[in-house]
């Protein structure tokens, strides 16, 4: 009689988010890319300012990454969750940032440091 082997995967998936950073202040359209750390994982949920996005509000790329374009001038909170093949759900990856057209903020943020 052969022994039965079980494999238990409790490792939560992770995301790589490019195009923004925590607390960042931006002055133009943002092109954000969300990519699961493992190519077999999938982005399960994208939430912007408390609203779950529909698939029509972002683009799924062939490599499994998600392209998200934000254009409105305001403060944002982006929450992302990913799901792996074993059913593990990632911790929410949250990033807060802002797109502004405030000239004074732009001058302050781009002022050279002597």
pLDDT tens digits, 44-64? 999 999 999 999 999 999 888
User: Does the pLDDT of residue 1 top 80, yes or no?
Assistant: no
Domain positions in the chain: 15-110
The answer to whether the beta carbons of residues 18 and 24 sit under 8 Å apart is: no
The average confidence (pLDDT) of the chain is 88
The rounded distance, in Å, linking the Cα atoms of 15 and 1 is 42
> pTM value?
0.80
Bridge partners (DSSP) of residue 36 are 15
The answer to whether the beta carbons of residues 25 and 109 sit under 8 Å apart is: yes
What integer pLDDT is reported at residue 114 of this predicted model?
53
What residue has token string 């079980």?
6
15-110 topology per CATH: Immunoglobulin-like (2.60.40)
């Amino acid at each position: 009689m052969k022994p039965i082997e079980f494999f238990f995967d409790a490792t939560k998936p992770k995301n790589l988010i490019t195009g923004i950073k925590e607390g960042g202040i931006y002055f133009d359209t943002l092109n954000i890319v969300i990519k699961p750390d493992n190519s077999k994982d999938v982005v399960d949920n994208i939430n912007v300012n408390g609203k779950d996005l529909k698939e029509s509000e972002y683009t799924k790329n062939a490599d499994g990454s998600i392209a998200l374009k934000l254009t409105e001038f305001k403060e944002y909170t982006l929450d992302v969750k990913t799901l792996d093949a074993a059913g593990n759900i990632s911790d929410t990856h949250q990033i807060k940032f802002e797109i502004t057209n405030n000239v004074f903020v732009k001058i302050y943020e781009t002022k050279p440091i002597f």
